[in-house]
Amino acid sequence: MSISGALNNAMTGLRAAGRGAEVISSNISNALTPGYGRRLLSLSSSSVGDFGGVQINGITRVVDAGLAADRRLAHAENGNTRIAADFLAKIENLLGTPDNSTSLTAQLSHFENSLITGASRPDAAERLGGAVASARAVALALNSASDGVQDARTQADRTIHAQVEELNAALTQIAALNSQITGLQVQGGDVSSLQDLRQQVIDRVGELVPVREAPRSNGQIALYSVGGAVLLDGTAASLGFTPSNLVTPYMTLSGSTLSSLTINGTEVRTDSEKGAIRGGLLAAQFEIRDESGVAAQTQIDALARDLIERFQDPAVDGTLAPGDAGLFTDGGGAFDPLDEIGISDRIAINAAVDPDQGGATWRIRDGIGALAQGDVGNASLLQALGDALTDPRVPASGGFGGGAFSAISLATALTSDIAVSRNTTEQKLSYSAARLAELTERQLADGVDSDDEIQRLMLVEQAYAANARVIETVDEMLQTIMRL
Please provide the distance, in angstroms rounded to a whole number, between the alpha carbons at the two ends of the chain. Answer: 22
Q: In this predicted model, what pLDDT tens digit does every residue of 338-389 receive, in sequence order? A: 999 999 999 999 999 999 999 999 999 999 999 999 999 999 999 999 999 9
- Cα–Cα distance, 30 to 24 (Å, whole number): 10
Instruction: Decide: 7 and 474 in contact? Cβ < 8 Å.
Output: yes
Whole-angstrom distance, CA of residue 64 vs CA of residue 37:
9
Q: Return the pLDDT at 220.
A: 93
Q: What pLDDT score does 288 carry?
A: 97
Q: How confident is the model at residue 37 (pLDDT cuts 50, 70, 90)?
A: confident
- Which 8-state DSSP code applies to residue 354? -
| Torsion sign across C-alpha atoms 343, 346, 351, 353 | positive
φ, ψ for residue 445 (rounded to 5)? Answer: -65, -30
Residue 22's pLDDT is: 79
Residue 44: Cβ-neighbour burial (10 angstroms; 0-12, 13-18, 19+): exposed
DSSP symbols for 128-147? HHHHHHHHHHHHHHHHHHHH
Residue 182 makes CB contacts below 8 A (sequence gap 6+) with: 218, 219, 220
The least confident of 26-35, 102-111, 140-149 is 26-35
Region 271-280 average pLDDT: 93
- Of 7-16, 108-117, 150-159, 268-277, minimum mean pLDDT range: 7-16
Q: How many CB atoms lie within 10 A of CB 8?
A: 19
User: What is the tens place of the pLDDT at every residue in 55-109?
Assistant: 776 777 777 788 888 999 999 999 999 999 999 999 999 999 877 888 999 999 9
pLDDT > 70 fraction of the chain, expressed in percent and rounded? 97
Query: CB pairs under 8 A, 24+ apart, for 337-343?
Result: 337/305, 337/396, 340/301, 340/302, 340/305, 340/397, 341/249, 341/250, 341/297, 341/301, 342/146, 342/248, 342/249, 342/250, 342/297, 342/301, 343/301, 343/304, 343/305, 343/308
Angle formed by the axes of helices 125-186 and 104-120, to 10°? 170
8 A C-beta contact, residue 142 and residue 347: yes
C-alpha separations of 73 from 77, 126, 208, 359, 428 in Å: 6, 61, 10, 60, 15
Q: What is the pLDDT of residue 2?
A: 74
Q: How many CB atoms lie within 10 A of CB 353?
A: 23
> Of 50-59, 230-239, 464-473, which gets the smallest average pLDDT?
50-59
| pLDDT 10s digits, 376-405 | 999 999 999 999 999 999 999 988 888 899
Exposure letters 381-396 (e unless 16+ CB within 10 A, then b): bbebbbebbbeebebe
**Confidence bin at 312 (pLDDT 50/70/90):** very high
Domain boundaries, the chain: 3-64+452-483, 69-436
Range list of H helices, 187-280: 192-208
* AA identity, residue 460: V
Q: What is the DSSP letter of 237?
A: -
**Burial of residue 297 (number of CB atoms within 10 Å: 0-12, 13-18, 19+):** buried
Taking only Cα atoms into account, the Rg of the chain, rounded to an integer number of angstroms, comes to 36
Q: Tens digits of per-residue pLDDT, 440-458? A: 888 777 777 777 778 887 8
Give the C-alpha separation, 50 to 349, whole Å: 102
**pLDDT value for 50:** 58
Place 263 in a pLDDT band, splitting at 50, 70 and 90: very high
Check: CB of residue 209 under 8 Å from CB of residue 224: no
**DSSP letter at 372?**
S
Going by C-alpha positions, the residue among 76, 91, 432, 436 that lies closest to residue 282 is: 76
d(CA 23, CA 58): 11
d(CA 377, CA 381): 11
Task: Report the pLDDT averaged over residues 6-30.
Answer: 78
Q: In this model, does residue 12 exceed pLDDT 90?
A: no
Considering the entire predicted model, what is its pTM?
A: 0.86
Q: Higher model confidence: residue 188 or residue 261?
A: 261
Under a CB-based contact definition with an 8 Å cutoff, are residues 327 and 313 in contact?
A: no
